[in-house]
Amino acid sequence: MVSSPVAHCPWPSAPGSIEPVPELEGVKMTVGSKDFTEQIVLGYVIEFAMAAAGADVRDLTNIQGSNSTRDAQLNGQIDLAYEYTGTGWINYLGNETPLPDSQAQFEAVRDADLAANDMVWTDPAPMNNTYALAMSKETAEKTGVKTVSDYAKLVESDPGAAVTCVETEFNVRQDGYPGLAAKYGFDASRAQRQILQTGIIYQATADGDQCKFGEVFTTDGRIIALDLVLLDDDLQFFPKYNPALVMKKDFAEAHPQVAEVMAPISERLTNEVMTELNRQVDVDGKEPADVARDWLVSEGFVTAQ
């Protein structure tokens, strides 16, 4: 049970291309999110869009952890949230092997979660917030590494030149470093690793002293701010984490207009867009709600009040 107080959506928005929908006028709905920047921004994107459509929106963003957010949705505390296909497939549905094709992964999650839990997944956004290995431009030039296959060869030939910083969970997860080593055929025990907190890895990788390579998330705004270079996952090991709007079946059937309003918004959420929105929060220090509303205004979905 999530104990956070539920507040009305702050910062009202007015219609733009999203016009008032008579069927949604005054409909009470609660929007949730997990407790990291991208999720909070996406939660506010839903809130402003639904408010512009006429709904009476409550805010329950910033829930700690994926499992708590999922439980809040299953027990009806929240009606709407953006969830990631990879999280649904692996964390919630208990599968160990991700599907490398984004559409196949989405369809598998959509069908299985509906059958097992009466949860409806709408078409996902093109953005993919998955794991990646990153390096500074200087490291890229010195090593010639462009792909994870190149990195694997470097680990085997010169482990000291491939010191890699990872956070604790990634170091042991099968969709993290152990699985990466198995997929790319290098000996994980030869790899020199430093265990750091996620937020420290980005700067340490950019500095290139403590970390030549680092574990990152592909839509993190610090990738742009620190001019990091992502290694190409040429064997497509990392799971696809495309966000899709998720709601319970009874809510989706009662309010089909919600999916219709959100569809064009999801279509605009590319890696480039999301990375920039994350950067505005994590680097520039802007409020997630302001960033979400300003983006919706810039895209013409809503107008500022």
d(CA 86, CA 156): 30
- Residue 253 falls inside a structural domain: yes
Q: Mutual orientation of helices 37-52 and 257-268 as an angle, nearest 10°?
A: 130
The encoded tokens of residue 25 equal 């006028």
- Distance of alpha carbon 227 from the chain centroid: 20
Residue 137 belongs to domain with CATH number = 3.40.190.120
Can you give the pLDDT of all 305 residues of the chain as single tens digits?
555 555 555 555 666 789 999 999 999 999 999 999 999 999 999 999 999 999 999 999 999 988 999 999 999 999 999 999 999 998 899 998 889 899 999 999 999 999 999 999 999 999 999 999 999 999 999 999 999 999 999 999 999 999 999 999 899 877 889 999 999 999 999 999 999 998 899 999 999 999 999 999 999 999 999 999 999 999 999 999 999 999 999 999 999 999 999 999 999 999 999 999 999 999 999 999 999 999 999 999 999 76
Q: Are residues 69 and 163 in the same domain?
A: no
d(CA 243, CA 277): 15
Other beta carbons within 10 angstroms of residue 65's beta carbon come to 11
Residue 274 belongs to domain with CATH number = 3.40.190.10
Q: Are residues 27 and 121 in the same domain?
A: yes
Kindly give the pairing relationship between strand 13-15 and strand 302-304.
Answer: antiparallel
Give the pLDDT of residue 96.
Answer: 82
Q: Are residues 17 and 123 in the same domain?
A: yes
- Distance of alpha carbon 268 from the chain centroid: 15
- Residue 247 falls inside a structural domain: yes
Phi, psi (rounded to 5 degrees) for 54: 110, 0
Contacts by residues 92-99 (CB-CB < 8 Å, ≥ 24 positions apart): 96/174, 98/175, 98/238, 98/239, 98/240, 99/240
Q: Are residues 14 and 111 in the same domain?
A: yes
The Cβ-side half-sphere exposure at 206, using a 13 Å CA radius, reads 12
Give the pLDDT of residue 243.
Answer: 98
60 close to 77: Cβ distance less than 8 angstroms: yes
Q: Are residues 41 and 166 in the same domain?
A: no
Q: What is the pTM of this model?
A: 0.88
Q: Shortest CA distance to 9 belongs to which of 33, 35, 38, 34?
A: 33
Other beta carbons within 10 angstroms of residue 147's beta carbon come to 15
Give the pLDDT of residue 97.
Answer: 84
Other beta carbons within 10 angstroms of residue 278's beta carbon come to 25
Give the pLDDT of residue 12.
Answer: 58
Q: Are residues 32 and 117 in the same domain?
A: yes
Domain boundaries, position 279: 7-128+241-304
Give the pLDDT of residue 172.
Answer: 87
Q: Cα-atom radius of gyration of the chain, to the nearest Å?
A: 20
